Chain A
């Protein structure tokens, strides 16, 4: 009972963190990468603000002499060498200042780019992120196959360690972006690339696909869960295990339903016969905060609604409707909710 309560409490807490608008914001950095960029952003911003004020002042000064004469054009100004000379100096100096300013922006931009991209540490945590229409496959590759963790949409990372993300896509182009962490990187089919970041503060940071990828581009969120090294290792150990054996009769029946319906055509639950890699790995689905790529909270009601008619929630999603009987549905939800 207490365990269940604490579980609920932790879910509510996790939800509260996701709800905080600061968890998805370019100017609230949680990583040195986003921090460097935020600094550059404000630096350029204040330079440009000064330019803006000067230009508006120049136009206002020039325009202040305007005459509103409705009847007919004014006579032409006589040629004035003196005025042309002064204008030439003014325009020339403005040009010189512009070039100098641009040079400063260029140098700072290149330096910041190097600080954001250069990886110095030797032992990063490597995570493979693969884009699918419309969810994220996340795996922690290991030279031993049985030590490889595979999950979806929620990326656990240890605080204070460098994280290298390897990107790829199974279908169209997606783009990986968690604004509090670092800039975005496209996931291109046929190309693999790598970038890195490091998170300072524990917390849950929201991310979203940033490259238009079809019908459900809007519902392709993910989260980065930054936790202490101990918590991260505990999570990893838990994820390496096979699926928990169902303990209640309802959950046992739920597994039966899962393995005799369309579910196993697309999903993997390690330790059972379900082994397809088309959809997200559900071996530890109950350990996630959200389902359907950050679209719904991971509750019994939401799970049931999603299983029966995913097309209503994410029109166009690759998952087809499952018209299960109420009993079957309840059983399968009970089974999935036991997969911690």
Chain B
């Protein structure tokens, strides 16, 4: 009996490894130099997004260090206004458009969402790869401009008329506008890929009410991107028209309107804050559950909060414009809306505390970063309540108080969760564990440095130090606090160096991670680390919110998919019932070539409007190559329950 069982088991093993070989052959991504540009697998593209965005985070951080160095004493001659204005514009634009959204939403989402759904690849993998190259194109345009002394110098918000043709001659503001086009098209494309993956590629059984909170948040963010990004593209597009072909959308002398731009920009700009914060909150919800060793408390309130945040995020944009002199009634409306955001965010905080309180907390490295998030984001959220009040906002708006506030919110809401998430999913991505000792050094150095720098800025703001000034008079008595603020940079830099050392060290000699080193419940921990090119040997099914914790050992698997072509399973968006099969289009050079031709058209249109019709020709040609029909369509899904085993 025992012998017979072991034969069966062995037989299954060989069967599985043969299946694994066949799947690996089918889903293989090409290697070599050209192969790199043909890759369309979401884990590879996701990691590329994250690595590229992290490089721009380091570059943006260097600009921040330059700013702190310039302000270390009054009338400093390190930088003149021309360079300083470029540096702070580049810092803001890099951090928002090239780092925060690409890493937290695009890179991280592209990597983890299909794994959490139980899918073999992301939906529209070629579009996804195209979006990566387009993002790189935008980043190169912005930094290429900066390195050739054509960096934008009108602020990351580029208010008109300062950024208009009369007050910003040359191509600096054009480069900013076109960088927006690049990165926002990229974000829109990825939002479509992620939303489709979540709605159509979920494993059978993962109904909407069983979806991990992280997937809910990614879905809400994707929707927010789809509704918010067009506003900023219209704003920057109209600005480009004003500058390039002489329209007068924003020229008050010809009946244009300078406030229209601000409304369009902040209609994007405030949801953008939640597009950056919600991925952080998603990571926190995942990690709190895993390290409290209990299912998260308040799944439904948290999901409702996340959806509510997505909607409310669109009703608060005017609080960036209180100083423009609005009627009191509309000010009160936007104060109320801004305060209302506290309710869903507070709900999440309370549910996290309850989960930890009634759980069995294990203070591993990623959880330490979660506690950093709780502290830092709490301060940022509370100072945000102050800013929602119109009278207080009118005093501290555009001062270093606001700078302190949004660094607490953005670094607290994105960077601390990002490091928590990197340490948490590093074993999955690299197959090896990060060093806890180095990670703790990284945490304490960064946490202390961050608070020294940014807590100090609150006081500078109350003492009347306005933003975006390249120098100040000794009479203002701001030097002491500025020196203190700048000294925190040393600690943060040291922390980041420890982090880089940790990554490079752990990638080579870290302990082997295994499938599920943290004992988490998500589907992404069910396959080997790093995941094979086909992700799942058998597409899984789930029967609960925490599959690896709750599902029985004999949980059914999907068997109706072919292993000789790249078949994926498409399920119903609400109840995740299998509907049909789709074929993954596989690796292709066309997304890269299309991104190249689109980039050429975008860059050309900085200089002449003719680049649009002429540049359209290669774009159409590459799109034809991309969309060329591929022949056979997938076999139909077997009827009944025969796709399950």
Contact = CB atoms under 8 A, between A and B. Distances in A.
A52 B395 contact: no
Interface in B287-309: 290, 292-295, 297-298, 301
A189 B258 contact: yes
Contacts of B323: 175, 183-186, 210-211
A46 to B, nearest CB: 12
B265 to A, nearest CB: 13
A265 interface: no
Contacts, number: 268
Given A173-B162, A214-B167, A41 B395 contact: yes
B535 to A, nearest CB: 23
A185 B325 contact: yes
Interface string A243-263: 000000000000000000000
Given A63-B363, A73-B293, A218 B472 contact: yes
Interface in A194-208: 195, 206, 208
Nearest to A72: B519
Classify the secondary structure of B's interface with A: helix
Contacts of A86: 358
Contact of A210 (B257, B360, B398): B398
Contacts of B292: 77
Interface string B1-29: 00000000000000000000000000000
Given A117-B328, A316-B81, A55 B464 contact: no
Contact of A70 (B298, B371, B436): B436
Interface residues of A, number: 94
Nearest to B462: A26
A175 B324 CA distance: 9
A307 interface: no
A187 B85 CA distance: 21
B466 interface: yes
Given A113-B332, A189-B161, A74 B391 contact: no
Name, among B154, B324, B399, B436, the residue most crowded by chain A CB atoms within 10 Å (CB to CB).
Answer: B324
B351 interface: yes
Contacts of A208: 464, 466
A35 B580 CA distance: 67
A105 interface: yes
Contact of B398 (A26, A99, A211): A211
Contact of B477 (A21, A70, A188, A214): A21
B379 interface: yes
B82 A19 contact: no
Given A76-B293, A114-B328, A190-B252, A184 B359 contact: no
A55 B393 CA distance: 24
Contacts of A235: none
A106 B519 contact: no
Interface in B305-354: 323-325, 328, 331-332, 335-336, 339-340, 342-343, 346-347, 349-351, 353-354
A226 interface: no
Contact of A105 (B159, B339, B475): B339
Nearest to A179: B464
Interface stretch (B189-197, B382-390, B445-453): B382-390
A63 B324 CA distance: 45
Given A36-B391, A113-B331, A117-B328, A210 B466 contact: yes
Nearest to A86: B358
B610 interface: no
A176 B328 CA distance: 19
B347 A95 contact: yes
Nearest to A118: B328
Given A77-B294, A77-B358, A193-B325, A213 B336 contact: no
Given A98-B342, A113-B328, A215-B85, A67 B363 contact: yes
Given A73-B518, A87-B358, A195-B325, A21 B346 contact: no
Interface in A161-186: 167, 171-173, 175, 177, 179, 182-186
Contact of B476 (A24, A76, A116, A173): A24
Contacts of A215: 81-82, 85
Nearest to B89: A212
Interface residues of B, number: 96
Given A95-B346, A113-B332, A67 B361 contact: yes
Contact of B362 (A18, A56, A66, A216): A66
A173 B159 CA distance: 8
A102 B389 CA distance: 10
A188 B357 CA distance: 52
A87 B297 contact: yes
Contact of B324 (A67, A182, A186): A186
Interface in B460-499: 461-464, 466-473, 475-477
Given A74-B293, A179-B464, A41 B81 contact: no
B504 interface: no
Interface in A96-151: 98-99, 102, 105-106, 108-110, 112-114, 116-117, 133
B356 interface: yes
A79 B544 CA distance: 14
Contact of A171 (B167, B363, B388, B395): B167
A66 B361 contact: yes
A282 interface: no
Nearest to A192: B325
Q: Which 8 A-B pairs give the minimum distances between C-beta atoms? A: A183-B394, A73-B519, A190-B252, A218-B469, A77-B294, A109-B389, A87-B354, A62-B356
26 contacts: A25-B463, A26-B462, A27-B462, A34-B395, A45-B386, A48-B385, A55-B353, A58-B353, A67-B363, A68-B363, A70-B436, A74-B360, A74-B519, A76-B549, A87-B298, A87-B358, A91-B297, A95-B347, A99-B343, A102-B340, A105-B388, A109-B388, A172-B167, A193-B325, A208-B464, A212-B162
Given A65-B360, A183-B323, A217-B468, 7 more contacts: A48-B383, A48-B385, A77-B359, A87-B355, A91-B354, A191-B325, A208-B464
